[in-house]
Structure 1
Amino acid sequence: MKQKNKNVEQYEVKQPVQLLPFLIEKMSNRSRNTVKSILARGQVNVNDREITQHNFQLQPNDTVSILKNKVAKAASFDGMKLLYEDDAVIVVEKDAGLLSMASPKERSRTAYKQLMAYVRKVNPNNRIFIVHRLDRDTSGVMMFAKNEKVKQKLQQAWKDMVAERTYVALVEGVVKKSEGTITSWLKESKTFKMYSSPKPNDGQRAVTHYNVMQSNNQFSLLQVHLETGRKKQIRVHMTDIGHPIVGDKKYGSKVNTIRRLGLHASVLAFYHPITGKLLRFESDIPPLFKKKSK
């Protein structure tokens, strides 16, 4: 008999059986890989004891409990937190200082490598795929695909499938206009620095909308909505209006009182590439951003 409450599914065992086949039968609407992931993450209890072994022997009258929250018992990561996972995508909250993927100087401690190791604990053939990136020193929400088909679908229809990308930016100075839109044509220099071209149609069109959340005589905290998602777009556009992001020395910042880049990806909302359902993930504004701009 199956019992339901808000957070747990419970089943009573009727006859001797191993745990994995029992779960596959009870969760027939989920793939074998998903069921194995649920086990690996420690979301299954037998008689109130956490069990992860596939071949654990169940006996009549045992009670099997499954935590519904997909990331309730997720593995621990270095510099990030798992927000959501299913057969198609993984959504994480990344700390400032963690690379999205490998660089010539850093190959091991990246979001990509940690997640690859994580999914391969369930099946050595599992992989993840980069869909979009956050700069090393930008924190917040980002998404990865779990197969190439999903990756291609998301990247090819990114503008249509992403309903909202919102950042918060701590910038230098007092932004006098309470809201505004910045539009330019972005190009990359020979030294790999992005800039706004003075010529119309010369580069990739980039559009950034912002509104001031709070400010003092030194710093302003902005909510930033991306209409386009170009490389370094927010960093360049903040410099264009004379208010570089705090800690962004490469793009004109003179101070770094927070010892990191003052940029945080606070909201990512997208239509699921398989189900079409709208999913929305939000990450809290770093407290230091609020404190510095109060």
Structure 2
Amino acid sequence: MSGPRFVVVRADDDGMRLDRWFKTHYPQLTHGQLQKMLRKGQVRVEGGRAQASRRLEKGESVRVPPMPSADIAPKPAASSESRADAREKLAHMTIYEDKEVLVLNKPFGLAVQGGAKTTDHVDALLEAVSPDGERIRLVHRIDKDTGGLLVTAKTRQAAGWLTEAFRQRTVEKEYWALVTGVPEPLFGRIDVKLAKSGPAGREKMRAEEGGQKAISDYQVIDVAAQKASFVALRPVTGRTHQLRAHMALIGTPIVGDGKYGGAEAKVEGLPGKMHLFCRKLIVPRPGRKPLMLEAPLHGHMKDTWRLFAFEERAEPEWPEL
């Protein structure tokens, strides 16, 4: 690409942030490179300078400057073969769908969004199967190594109310986890502020008085020989890695979570994979009954539950705290 290009915003990109638009269509462009282009005014929307947070509208013209490397090009449209493959993968994950919402039971190890070295992710699958004129959108995230419920929006209107519900914390969430040892007491609330710190690329959420408010409820459902516990978790707030950090802070890290639990996150005889699963969501819907979602366990967590004879249909009742 020897000179600037002027790209018209498509209908399925309507309402997307400018930085997200570049990440979607020019995935090899780094965040730092884009920020530099924006500061220099090399990126323009409708002829004017723009901020990374600017929301694009269908039909607007985006000036895309020459890229730092000649091999950076707009992402090509999905082929019919790749679309068929994406449809098949999503079909295996889908547990609920209507005209507005598509809900997936995400496999462990599958990233929700891509990065410099991640090309296989949920967002790419959604883009491949999105109909012309309407993009299926992510409205929240779960970690790559966490399995379970992931809600996406099939229309722009649904994306609006879903995103707001997750942002305002009106979505009720329940996670299941296997932790090392047995938490004491058997149910309670962890109210410890968290802040991200550490060297670049190895940041962690740590307990800090000046951090963001973070609250997690937990209850022990079953115990395996005092070595590990089946725990239900309810995040009251929604900080990054909140459940992982909180369980490690009380001395019972989630099994397989080496980042927060280190060597203490291992149980002999079990795979060293993350044992954290988004089991239930109750999502409010404007003018309608809430969407009640529940995902069955799968993968290594299902194997672990069967090994310890834990109840796979447990119905935790949350006491008032």
For Structure 1 versus Structure 2, the TM-score category normalised by the shorter chain is 0.5 to 0.7
> What is the alpha-carbon distance in structure 1 between the residues aligned to residue 197 and residue 160 of structure 2?
28
> What is the alpha-carbon distance in structure 2 between the residues aligned to residue 187 and residue 142 of structure 1?
25
TM-score where L is the length of structure 1: 0.66
Answer yes or no: is the 8 Å Cα contact 2:181–2:252 preserved in 1: yes
For the aligned residue pairs, the C-alpha RMSD in angstroms reads 2.3
Q: Deviations over 1:122-168 (max 9, x none)?
A: x3222122211111110001101223443233223426574420000
- 118, 121, 126: which one pairs with 1:110? 121
Tell me which residue corresponds to 1:287.
Answer: 302
Unaligned runs of 5+ in 1: 1-73
Q: Does 1:130 align with 2:138?
A: yes
> What is the alpha-carbon distance in structure 1 between the residues aligned to residue 109 and residue 91 of structure 2?
8
Change (3 A) 1:292 1:194: farther
> What is the alpha-carbon distance in structure 2 between the residues aligned to residue 292 and residue 253 of structure 1?
23
Q: Does 1:205 align with 2:213?
A: yes
> What is the alpha-carbon distance in structure 1 between the residues aligned to residue 107 and residue 262 of structure 2?
21
Q: Deviations over 1:79-137 (max 9, x none)?
A: 95112222322111001011111122112x21111122122xxx322212221111111
Q: Does 1:237 align with 2:246?
A: yes
> What is the alpha-carbon distance in structure 2 between the residues aligned to residue 79 and residue 288 of structure 1?
23
**Higher helix proportion (structure 1 or 2):** 2
Tell me which residue corresponds to 1:88.
Answer: 100
- 205, 214, 235: which one pairs with 2:222? 214
Which residue identity is paired with 1:112? Answer: D
Answer yes or no: is the 8 Å Cα contact 1:140–1:264 preserved in 2: yes
**Higher strand proportion (structure 1 or 2):** 1
- Secondary structure at the residue paired with 1:265? strand
- 276, 284, 293: which one pairs with 2:288? 276
Q: Does 1:154 align with 2:166?
A: no
- Secondary structure at the residue paired with 1:102? coil
Tell me which residue corresponds to 1:261.
Answer: 274
Which residue identity is paired with 1:287? Answer: K
> What is the alpha-carbon distance in structure 2 between the residues aligned to residue 161 and residue 223 of structure 1?
18
Size of the alignment, in residue pairs? 214
Change (3 A) 1:224 1:292: farther
> What is the alpha-carbon distance in structure 1 between the residues aligned to residue 190 and residue 218 of structure 2?
8
Answer yes or no: is the 8 Å Cα contact 2:257–2:274 preserved in 1: yes
Tell me which residue corresponds to 2:194.
Answer: 186
Which residue identity is paired with 1:86? Answer: D
Answer yes or no: is the 8 Å Cα contact 1:213–1:223 preserved in 2: yes
Unaligned runs of 5+ in 2: 1-85, 310-321
> What is the alpha-carbon distance in structure 1 between the residues aligned to residue 147 and residue 278 of structure 2?
6
Which residue identity is paired with 2:289? Answer: K
TM-score where L is the length of structure 2: 0.61
- 243, 252, 257: which one pairs with 1:248? 257
Change (3 A) 1:155 1:78: closer
> What is the alpha-carbon distance in structure 2 between the residues aligned to residue 223 and residue 234 of structure 1?
11
Higher Cα Rg, which structure: 1
> What is the alpha-carbon distance in structure 2 between the residues aligned to residue 221 and residue 102 of structure 1?
31
Q: Deviations over 1:211-242 (max 9, x none)?
A: 00111221111001111111101000011101
